[in-house]
Structure 1
Amino acid sequence: MEALNLLVFSYINAPAHPSMFMLGMAHFFATYAIWVVPTLLMICWLRRNPEHHYIMLNALLATGAALLVNNVIGMLWHHPRPFAMPTGHNFLYHEADPSFPSDHMTVIMTVAFTFLLRHRVRLLGLGLAVLGTLIGWSRIYLGVHFPIDMAGAVIVAFSSAFIIHVLSPLFMPSLYMPLRSLYRKLFAPLIKRGWLFH
């Protein structure tokens, strides 16, 4: 498995002297594309639709659970990043913490799977999955992750999203109203001015 991981990495990782276009595009996806996730979750909440609120809460809970799993895996199995081995070419600064699974890939794919499991936002989920693929490529290309890190992240993301999706009818009704009440208290001045929904 490790031999295959290194072989695939060698094909995706940037050459010693990559083009500025490829490097710039990879930096964009590796660094900034992840901000699509909080933006989408905020939009879901501001649509005044309880179903969208449930989806957003599902995504937040699933993402939190997935990142917790990642931390446990990282503590149990410290897989070094490519530049820490060292192997390949590195074009993005990153601390030498465990690389498996990728947190960036986990976050975007957990939200993608959460959306894909809901009919109304399935197209958004598909779009996030495509964006997640580009993020995964970019972080391998820049030398901060291995392909196996992305595969592990997808497995953790799907598992977390599916479990929360199945269990959400058990806790979501009792969780939603207190959170809605807290939201109203925290943002009362903005709600009174009509800047946010009630």
Structure 2
Amino acid sequence: MNLILFHFLNGLAGHTIIIDKIMIFLAVYSPVVYVLLMIVQWFLCGDKGKKASVEAFFAAVIAMALNLTISKIYFEPRPFVHHKVNLLVNHPADASFPSDHAAFGSALAFAEIMYDKVIGSIMMILTIILLFARVYVGVHYPIDMIGGFFIGYISSKIVKYGSFIFNPIETSVLNMWHKVFSN
């Protein structure tokens, strides 16, 4: 089923230049968009926005650590290694499962949505499009994206329920920020 869905979604690539370019941009540069949203939030949304950005950062770090661990234990080759695909971007033939992009994006989106519904919703929509885009450009199977999405969700929950660990760090970051930039 995973391979069938991959071939269907990736089979849509290479037919419309404009859609291909949009999918390539989202598949490759979405992390930049997430970071830009967090920077805007940091500067425009007060301490609540700063707290949300810090928590989202923690969730993303946890997600990336989990992904690295999983990819060292279980190696799934990228689709283009063993199958004929419409490969729209150059990519190393490293581990495909779980998707770093999906884990990163969903960790940020799930963490953000708890504090800022607007930015969190924008990130969630971007993440859902990203899930499709990475398969569309030929660098991931659908299960890689679902796995990464789930890891991002779990990572955001670790931060939420580990508040006794993360709140003192957040408070220190905010205090340093105010100390340096309050003058």
> Offset of 1:74 from its aligned partner?
0.4
Q: Which residue pairs with 1:149 in the alignment?
A: 144
> Offset of 1:134 from its aligned partner?
1.4
| CA–CA separation in structure 1 for the residues paired with 2:13 and 2:106 | 30
| CA–CA separation in structure 2 for the residues paired with 1:175 and 1:147 | 36
Q: Which residue pairs with 1:42 in the alignment?
A: 39
| CA–CA separation in structure 2 for the residues paired with 1:147 and 1:107 | 16
| CA–CA separation in structure 2 for the residues paired with 1:132 and 1:91 | 19
> Offset of 1:14 from its aligned partner?
3.3
- 1:53 and 2:50 are equivalent in the alignment: yes
The structure with the largest alpha-carbon Rg is: 1
Q: Which residue pairs with 1:87 in the alignment?
A: 84
Contact 1:58–1:114 under 8 Å retained in 2 = yes
Q: Which residue pairs with 1:100 in the alignment?
A: 97
1:137 aligned to 132, 139, 160, which one?
A: 132
- TM score, norm. by length of structure 2: 0.90
Larger mean CA deviation between 85-94 and 58-67 belongs to 85-94
Contact 1:117–1:165 under 8 Å retained in 2 = no
> Offset of 1:86 from its aligned partner?
2.6
Contact 1:106–1:157 under 8 Å retained in 2 = yes
Letter aligned with residue 65 of structure 1: I
Distance 1:16 1:45, change over 3 A: closer
Count residues in correspondence.
Answer: 183
Letter aligned with residue 127 of structure 1: I
Q: Structure 1: state its 5+ residue gaps.
A: 192-196
2:26 aligned to 29, 40, 57, which one?
A: 29
| CA–CA separation in structure 2 for the residues paired with 1:86 and 1:60 | 35
Letter aligned with residue 135 of structure 2: I
- Which SS does the other structure have where 1:160 is aligned? helix
2:170 aligned to 169, 176, 184, which one?
A: 176
Root-mean-square deviation (Å): 2.1
- TM score, norm. by length of structure 1: 0.83
- Which SS does the other structure have where 1:32 is aligned? helix
> Offset of 1:106 from its aligned partner?
1.1
Q: Structure 2: state its 5+ residue gaps.
A: none
